[in-house]
Amino acid sequence: MHMLKRWPASLWVFIALFIACLIAVPRFGTVQNFVNLGRMAAILALVSIGQGVVIMVRGLDFSIGSAVALFSVATVLCAPVLGVAPAFGIGAVAVLCLGMLNGVLISYLKLPAFLVTLGAMIGVHGLCSVLVGGVPIEAPVGIDMSGLAHAGWFGIPVPAWLAAVAFGGSYVLMEYTSFGREAHLIGSNPRAAELAGIPVPLRILQAYVLNAMLVAVAGAVLTSRLGSGQPNLYPELPFEAIAACAIGGIPLTGGKGSPLHAVLGVCILALFMNALVLFNFPTYLQSMLLGVLIVESVLVQHLAGRFAWRAGSAQMQTNT
């Protein structure tokens, strides 16, 4: 019983949803569908883990949609000159620089994360559009970047492996190292963390850099899949990532949650979206149901939390 309580509630939601999908949704339980699901969820999982780490230290990053666009534009522009692999390197460096800039402004200058990353979101989107003249730019013929996205290993697409590695690494980092413990403390009480001698600004900067690294991987996968540089590559990415964290049970006030929550949120979101597509619902209905899911899940978590708190205090009263 004690072990059961330690599992996040979103795990049970995920299992229930998965079984419901297996029973009710046509063509859900096919291998091809699971491969598709893995492809879709992998990118969201990568960025949501990063977003979760940033949320842990009371931050937020709106700029990741523009960051993956920057990756694709920089890579496609550099590929004919430098070759494919160095071009991906340039893209990664660009995204890391953006993450560093965000992190320094937020941690050392103590600017609101909302404001900084909002500015970065708008500004970097403008920068990408200027670089390619406002229209998507295709990679020249003869340059093949699709290796990363379409390769597989043991029948599982490489992006899914990348997401799994990112999850494992970040889970160990957040749950079993001093960095993770300090990040938890910073999120739940920054003043106490400072008094305890933790280098708070440095840890916050590290969280943003970690996020940027994961976003760079996601950008590489997206660029490889599309083979083109697009300023409007994935503008809703930050909102989907924040929604995934919220659904998984990471409160946006910081200090709570783990990469496991983020990944569970992504799984629920991806499963739900996949089911809507398989049911062949019209796009507007998909959008509406997704919105309802997001609000509903945080509402349920809130109500459940209040219920548990009441039950806990009632138990304490009976005990005394």
By CB under 8 A, name the binding residues for another protein: 60, 105, 109-112, 114-116, 118-127, 129-130, 133-134, 231, 239, 242-243, 246, 251-253, 282-295, 298-299, 302-303
Nearest Cα residue to 109 out of 119, 124, 94: 119
Task: Tell me how far, at minimum, the Cβ of 119 lies from another protein, in Å.
Answer: 3
Return the number of the residue (158 or 294) whose C-beta is nearest another protein.
294
Q: How far is the CB of 118 from another protein (least distance, A)?
A: 6
Nearer to another protein, 173 or 252 (CB): 252
Q: For residues 222 and 243, which CB has a smaller minimum distance to another protein in the complex?
A: 243
Q: How far is the CB of 320 from another protein (least distance, A)?
A: 28
By beta-carbon proximity to another protein, the closer residue of 25 and 289 is: 289
Query: Which residues make Cβ contacts (< 8 Å) with residue 210, sequence separation at least 6?
Result: 50, 53, 170, 173
Least distance in Å: CB of 159 to another protein? 25
Three-state secondary structure along the chain? CHHHHHCCHHHHHHHHHHHHHHHHCCCCCCHHHHHHHHHHHHHHHHHHHHHHHHHHCCCCCCCHHHHHHHHHHHHHHHHHHHCHHHHHHHHHHHHHHHHHHHHHHHHCCCCCHHHHHHHHHHHHHHHHHHHHCCCCEECCCCCCCCHHHHCEECCEEHHHHHHHHHHHHHHHHHHHCHHHHHHHHHHHCHHHHHHCCCCHHHHHHHHHHHHHHHHHHHHHHHHHHHCEECCCCCCCHHHHHHHHHHHHCCCCCCCCCCHHHHHHHHHHHHHHHHHHHHCCCCHHHHHHHHHHHHHHHHHHHHHHHHHHHHHHHHHHHHHC
Supply the minimum distance, in Å, between the C-beta of residue 180 and another protein. Answer: 23
Q: Which is nearer to another protein, 73 or 214 (CB)?
A: 73
Nearer to another protein, 153 or 284 (CB): 284
The neighbour count for residue 299, using CB atoms within 10 Å, is 10
CB 112 → another protein: shortest distance, Å?
Answer: 5
Strand-pairing partners, residue 152, are 157
| Cβ proximity to another protein, 120 vs 149, nearer residue | 120
What is the token pair recorded at 20?
A: 């419901």
User: What is the closest distance, in whole angstroms, from the C-beta atom of residue 286 to another protein in the complex?
Assistant: 8
Q: How far is the CB of 292 from another protein (least distance, A)?
A: 6
Nearest-approach distance from CB 91 to another protein, in angstroms: 19
Q: Which is nearer to another protein, 102 or 224 (CB)?
A: 102
Q: Would the CA dihedral through 273, 276, 278, 282 be positive or negative?
A: negative
Whether 3 contacts 233, CB under 8 Å: no
Beta carbon nearer to another protein, 148 or 215: 215
